Amino acid sequence: MMALEILPVRTGDAAENMAVDFLLLQRYPKPGVPRFRHYGWRGPAFTFGYAQKLAAVRALLPEDTTLDLCRRATGGGLVDHRDDWTYALVIPRGHPLEDVRATQSYREVHEALAAALRVQGVACLAKTTVPETEGMGVCFQRAEIYDVVNEHSGEKIAGAAQKRNKHGLLFQGSIWRPAAGPAVDWEKFHDDFTARLAALLGTTAEPVPWPELNEDEVSGLTEQYSSPEWLDYR
């Protein structure tokens, strides 16, 4: 049985984190193996969806010139990473969860996430209603269908964005830690969440060393994601 490979935690700037996530989908050395990583940020950072216009994004940002900003390869809205718990899940082409509609994969991953948070007393669930208004603003100010929300207040706790291509599915997720509450043991959550994801994928979670990605390719894509051309692509 192929394991869900759990990669070591790393910290990077916005462009590096986005480049590595994308390359884990494109260039992973073991085709057919799902993989997961939780990672940190070197400084205050925001990322925004592939289809968003930069001018509209800048209008939503706080007035802080030191922010690190990067366009993602995935969709979704503007995400504030200054106090979040960020992860990426890669599901290879042909896996049943990769083959379903985006709304279904979104729901199943978020149900696993909500279940792991509930173990620690966080009253939350995957939202099952469609928002009354349309639009794509700041991620944690508005909950979309199957986002994880507080079951009492409706406050958004977790959201994500997806990208599918010929290699499989990249799922980039973010949990807003203040909304989850101060009592969460994030190391325990990491283990519970990855165990539930592994069960969802029909396998077990297995910590592995960092994969041998081509460093020239990593630095090249990081440089591309740092460029004004990528930032202002739309």
Q: The domain spanning residue 89 has which CATH number?
A: 3.30.930.10
Task: For residue range 2-27, list pLDDT tens digits in order.
Answer: 799 999 999 999 999 999 999 999 98
- Tell me the mean pLDDT in the region 151-180: 94
- Confidence at residue 142, expressed as pLDDT on a 0 to 100 scale: 59
- Confidence at residue 53, expressed as pLDDT on a 0 to 100 scale: 92
- Tell me the mean pLDDT in the region 48-64: 90
- Tell me the mean pLDDT in the region 176-205: 96
What is the spatial distance between Cα 202 and Cα 217, in angstroms, rounded to a whole number?
A: 32
What is the spatial distance between Cα 117 and Cα 192, in angstroms, rounded to a whole number?
A: 9
Residue 139 resides in a domain: no
Residue 127 resides in a domain: no
Structure tokens of 99? 């083959």
pLDDT of residue 223 exceeding 90? yes
- Confidence at residue 12, expressed as pLDDT on a 0 to 100 scale: 96
| Cα–chain center distance at 202 | 21
Partner residues linked to 37 by β-bridges: 88
pLDDT of residue 134 exceeding 60? no
pLDDT of residue 40 exceeding 60? yes
Confidence grade of residue 33 (pLDDT, cut at 50, 70, 90): confident
Total tally of structural domains belonging to the chain: 1
Residue 63 resides in a domain: yes
Residue 212 resides in a domain: yes
Residue 123 resides in a domain: no
* % of the chain beyond a pLDDT of 90: 74
pLDDT of residue 100 exceeding 90? no
Residue 113 resides in a domain: no
Residue 126 resides in a domain: no
Residue range of the domain that includes 81: 4-99+160-231
Strands 84-92 and 168-176: antiparallel
Residue 173 resides in a domain: yes
pLDDT of residue 1 exceeding 70? no
- Confidence at residue 94, expressed as pLDDT on a 0 to 100 scale: 84
Confidence grade of residue 140 (pLDDT, cut at 50, 70, 90): very low
- Tell me the mean pLDDT in the region 114-130: 92
- Tell me the mean pLDDT in the region 67-78: 93
Task: For residue range 196-219, list pLDDT tens digits in order.
Answer: 999 999 999 999 999 888 899 999
Where b means 16+ CB within 10 Å and e means fewer, 157-182 reads: bbbbbbbbeebbbbbbbbbbeebbee
- Confidence at residue 8, expressed as pLDDT on a 0 to 100 scale: 97
Contacts of 26 (CB under 8 A, 6+ apart): 167
- Confidence at residue 96, expressed as pLDDT on a 0 to 100 scale: 86
- Confidence at residue 141, expressed as pLDDT on a 0 to 100 scale: 56
Task: For residue range 84-98, list pLDDT tens digits in order.
Answer: 999 999 998 888 888
